[in-house]
């Protein structure tokens, strides 16, 4: 069995992406999305993954007592929170990919997916197409931002039934920004005073900044080393602030100035923050936490089966909840269901539902008009398209996102950061 993973970014990450910058011959890392990997150990599969990540040395457990009580973070005795043992949460994803013995292909984003002679032909924006016996797509179902199902074209769209399309279009996410600010090491006294003796993050909720995270302390605790090169703190904005600036780009210097000055005020840093900052990273999470997931189908599980011949499934946290455990549950659910389909052991009710989707081939039925899917940073480019079937008129004009600003200039990241890239594609 050969499994390929196509990911649009330069490495594994998605909403568990980690930024790296070099200062004074030292590599400094900043977790730009999820600060910790939260999963429910009451779920057997999640507990096994947590134990494996700790055993492999990729992660270490963090007591809930040092974490902030935020609405997004689940709590309870059975919940575990893991930190990257080397300073970045995306290390865990590298270990998972390695243990699965997959062939990852980075900076490879799916442009179209078409059924051909009992297989799926996946065409990337750059590079050669591939033929696969089965495909699992793990991108957001709908919404704004550079990645969602509406950005992938092809005959696969006709596999989506009207009811499935309704469910996919009903998924909702909130919107946040995150700002990593790299500061001189002599700012440590101000950071220590604000965060106290042991906290690694602190809720602010002042209308602009929701939470400030002390990445350097988190890394120091995980690695038993002192910060080197630079200190880094990460500011996560409030939902209200993100909504006010929904049309702005991550490269807007006004907004970086606003947030960095707010961080300087909270920490009590002297002088102009623009002169203190050694570097920064900005990510606009157009699709952050899932607020309205797809209701669980008890027969199918936390995923969606679109076709059995050839097999095509959808998976993602929009079938569960926005945390690492939610991602795992959907991924395991899709893998289990795919195995049943390939072995001919899929329950008739599920097969009938998928066949119903094939017959009811109204497709996504969303007619695109005008220019759409414009993009930088690895985004789509070109005119819009018209899919088969009836549907609402409209279209998405994607905005530049996930750009990396550093003092001295902007650095575009081709296909980097942001939402989880077009992952999927399994060849047997």
How far is CA 412 from each of CA 10, 145, 282, 360, rounded to the nearest angstrom?
12, 16, 11, 42
Phi and psi of 60, rounded to 5°? -135, 150
CB 133 within 8 A of CB 309: no
Residue 97: is it exposed, middle or buried by C-beta count within 10 angstroms (0-12/13-18/19+)? middle
Comparison of pLDDT for 193 and 361, the residue scoring more: 193
- pLDDT band at residue 294, thresholds of 50, 70 and 90? very high
Where is average pLDDT lowest: 263-267, 339-343, 348-352? 348-352
Q: How far apart are CA 363 and CA 183, in angstroms?
A: 50
How many helices and strands in the chain, by DSSP H and E?
A: 10, 25
Where is average pLDDT lowest: 99-103, 317-321, 351-355? 351-355
301 conformational bin, left if phi > 0, alpha if psi -120 to 50, beta if neither:
left
3-state helix/strand/coil string of 171-223? CEECCEEEEEEEECHHHHHHHHHHHCCCCCEEECCCCCEEEEEEHHHHHHHHH
> Is the peptide bond between 244 and the residue preceding it cis, with omega within 30 degrees of 0?
no
pLDDT of residue 145: 65
**Residue 419: pLDDT over 70:** no
Handedness of CA 194, 198, 200, 204 (dihedral sign): negative
- pLDDT band at residue 369, thresholds of 50, 70 and 90? very low
**Residue 389: pLDDT over 80:** no
- Stretch 260-287: mean pLDDT: 93
Q: 279: closest CA among 181, 165, 173, 402?
A: 181
**Residue 75: pLDDT over 90:** no
pLDDT of residue 353: 65
- pLDDT band at residue 56, thresholds of 50, 70 and 90? very high
Q: How far apart are CA 236 and CA 266, in angstroms?
A: 13
- pLDDT band at residue 330, thresholds of 50, 70 and 90? very high
- Stretch 271-300: mean pLDDT: 90
**Residue 393: pLDDT over 70:** no
pLDDT of residue 376: 32
Residue 45: is it exposed, middle or buried by C-beta count within 10 angstroms (0-12/13-18/19+)? middle
Question: Is the model's pTM score more than 0.85?
Answer: no
Structure tokens at 223: 């690695």
Q: How far apart are CA 11 and CA 93, in angstroms?
A: 10
**Residue 418: pLDDT over 70:** no
Q: What is the pLDDT of residues 83-128, one digit of tens each?
A: 988 878 888 999 999 999 999 999 999 999 999 999 999 999 999 9
pLDDT of residue 355: 58
**Residue 417: pLDDT over 70:** no
- Stretch 6-15: mean pLDDT: 86
How far is CA 337 from each of CA 43, 111, 239, 329, 393, rounded to the nearest angstrom?
18, 25, 36, 12, 34
pLDDT of residue 43: 94
Bridging pattern class, strands 103-106 and 2-7: parallel
pLDDT of residue 299: 86
Q: How far apart are CA 322 and CA 337, in angstroms?
A: 21
pLDDT of residue 348: 84
Mean model confidence pLDDT for the chain: 81
The enclosing H or E element of 71 equals none
**Residue 70: pLDDT over 50:** yes
Contacts of 148-154 spanning 24+ positions with Cβ under 8 A: 148/287, 148/419, 149/314, 149/364, 150/364, 150/366, 150/396, 151/373, 151/380, 151/396, 152/110, 152/111, 152/112, 152/113, 152/422, 153/111, 153/112, 153/113, 153/385, 153/387, 154/112, 154/113, 154/114, 154/123
pLDDT of residue 384: 29
Percent of the chain whose predicted confidence (pLDDT) is above 70: 81
Max mean pLDDT among 78-92, 106-120, 347-361, 409-423 falls in: 106-120
- Stretch 299-309: mean pLDDT: 93
Q: 243: closest CA among 173, 313, 320?
A: 173
Classify residue 296 by its DSSP letter.
P
Which residues share a beta bridge with 228?
none
**Residue 361: pLDDT over 50:** no
Query: Crossing angle, helix 188-195 and helix 215-223, to 10 degrees?
Result: 90
Q: What is the pLDDT of residues 184-232, one digit of tens each?
A: 999 999 999 999 998 999 999 999 999 999 999 999 988 888 999 999 9
Q: What is the pLDDT of residues 142-194, one digit of tens each?
A: 766 667 888 899 999 999 999 999 999 899 888 889 999 999 999 999 999 99
Please report where in the chains the tokens 């909403």 appear, as a residue. 15
Q: 167: closest CA among 389, 318, 325?
A: 318
**Residue 62: pLDDT over 60:** yes
Between the two ends of the chain, the Cα-to-Cα distance in Å is: 5
């Amino acid at each position: 069995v050969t499994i390929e993973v196509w990911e649009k970014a330069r490495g594994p990450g998605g909403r568990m992406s980690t930024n790296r910058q070099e200062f004074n011959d030292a590599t400094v890392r900043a977790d730009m999305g999820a600060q910790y990997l939260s999963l429910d150990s009451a779920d057997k599969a999640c507990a096994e993954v947590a134990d494996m990540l700790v055993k492999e040395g990729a992660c270490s457990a963090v007591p809930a007592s040092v974490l902030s009580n935020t609405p997004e973070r689940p709590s309870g005795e059975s919940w575990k929170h893991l930190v990257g043992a080397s300073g970045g949460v995306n290390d865990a994803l590298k270990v998972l990919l390695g243990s699965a013995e997959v062939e990852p292909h980075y900076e490879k984003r799916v442009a179209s997916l078409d059924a051909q002679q009992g297989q799926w032909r996946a065409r990337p924006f750059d590079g050669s197409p591939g033929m696969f016996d089965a495909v699992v797509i793990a991108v957001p179902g709908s919404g704004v931002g550079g990645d969602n199902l509406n950005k992938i074209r092809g005959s696969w769209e006709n596999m989506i039934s009207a009811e499935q399309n309704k469910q996919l279009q009903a998924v909702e996410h909130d919107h946040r920004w995150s700002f990593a600010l790299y500061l001189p090491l002599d700012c440590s006294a101000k950071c220590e005073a604000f965060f106290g003796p042991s906290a690694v993050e602190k809720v602010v909720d002042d209308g602009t900044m929701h939470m400030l995270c002390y990445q350097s302390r988190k890394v120091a605790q995980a690695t038993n080393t002192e910060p080197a090169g630079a200190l880094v703190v990460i500011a996560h904005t409030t939902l209200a602030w993100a909504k006010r600036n929904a049309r702005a780009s991550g490269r807007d210097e006004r907004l970086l100035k606003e947030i960095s000055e707010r961080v300087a005020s909270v920490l009590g840093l002297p002088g102009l923050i623009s002169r203190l900052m050694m570097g920064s990273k900005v990510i606009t999470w157009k699709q952050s936490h899932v607020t309205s997931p797809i209701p669980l189908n008890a027969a199918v599980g936390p995923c969606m089966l679109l076709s059995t011949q050839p097999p095509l499934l959808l998976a993602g946290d929009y079938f569960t909840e926005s945390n690492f455990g939610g991602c795992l549950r959907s991924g395991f659910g899709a893998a289990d269901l795919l195995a049943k389909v390939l072995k001919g052991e899929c329950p008739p009710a599920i097969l009938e539902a998928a066949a119903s989707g094939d017959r009811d081939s109204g497709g996504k039925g969303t007619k695109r008009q005008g220019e759409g899917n414009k993009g930088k940073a690895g985004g789509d480019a070109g005119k819009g398209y018209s899919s088969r079937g009836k549907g609402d008129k409209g279209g998405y004009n994607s905005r530049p996102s996930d750009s990396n600003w550093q003092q001295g200039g902007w650095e575009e990241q081709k296909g980097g950061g942001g939402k989880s890239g077009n992952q999927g594609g399994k060849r047997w």
